[in-house]
Amino acid sequence: MTKNELRARFRNIRHDYVSELGASARKAAAQAACDHLEAGLELPDTVAGYVAFGDELDPGPQLLRWREQGKRIALPAFANRKAPMAFWQWDAELLPGPLMDIPQPPGGSPAIDPALILVPLTAVDRSGNRIGQGAGYYDRKLAELGRKMTFTTVGFCWECQIADALPADPWDVPLDFIATPERLIAVAS
């Protein structure tokens, strides 16, 4: 299967799974994934998350708690439609961003390089290969960060999004861990 076919297949799998869950079950599942993450990794002072879209596992409530505990939290942000993705510090309100009105910190928020990045995905395998939304924003940003610093990536997803194997292109940046409501997986490198 091509990446686009796999993307469509795993979106359907995720949608079918999540549509059976109520709001409280979704919230509890996201908290369980965060609990596994915290039990298995020492959280650094700077963490990047994301604003969940559609059926994605939502780290938002935990990001708020980490921020209240003094962590610097960043979210993906774009200065304009053609700008590369950056991580901007999330201190207060979120505003509609230039890409599909996905909420992001307001312009002028400090750009930060996080030590831990929660990465949304459509599918992932046990080697850390992921299929995202298809635009390549995360792959480009992770490659850029990798040239200047060390950081840890965690695919944050539902268990049903884990595939046996996925194709990987030379520019794809594999993940270090996968956090699901059931467990934290250190990927095989």
Contacts of 173 (CB under 8 A, 6+ apart): 138, 139, 142, 143, 146, 153
Is 3 annotated to bind a ligand? Reply is yes
**Which two structure tokens, joined as six digits, stand for 95?**
């505003």
Q: Would you say 6 is a known binding-site residue? A: yes
135 assigned to a ligand binding site: yes
62 is in an annotated binding site: no
159 is in an annotated binding site: no
Does 97 carry a binding-site annotation? no
Comparing C-alpha atoms, which of 77, 55, 74, 148 is closest to residue 114? 74
Q: Where are the beta strands (DSSP E) in 42-186?
A: 46-48, 72-77, 86-89, 95-96, 103-104, 116-119, 123-125, 130-131, 152-156, 162-163, 177-179, 184-186
To the question of whether residue 67 is assigned a binding role by annotation, the answer is no
- Residue 64 to residue 102: CA distance in whole angstroms: 18
Whether 108 has a binding-site annotation, put simply, is no
- Residue 156's closest CA among 23, 59, 39? 59
5 is in an annotated binding site: yes
User: Annotated binding residue at 4?
Assistant: yes
Q: Is 70 annotated as a binding residue?
A: no
56 labeled part of a ligand binding site = yes
Residues in binding site? 3-7, 51, 56, 130-138
Residues in binding site for substrate? 51, 56
Residues in binding site for ATP? 3-7, 130-138
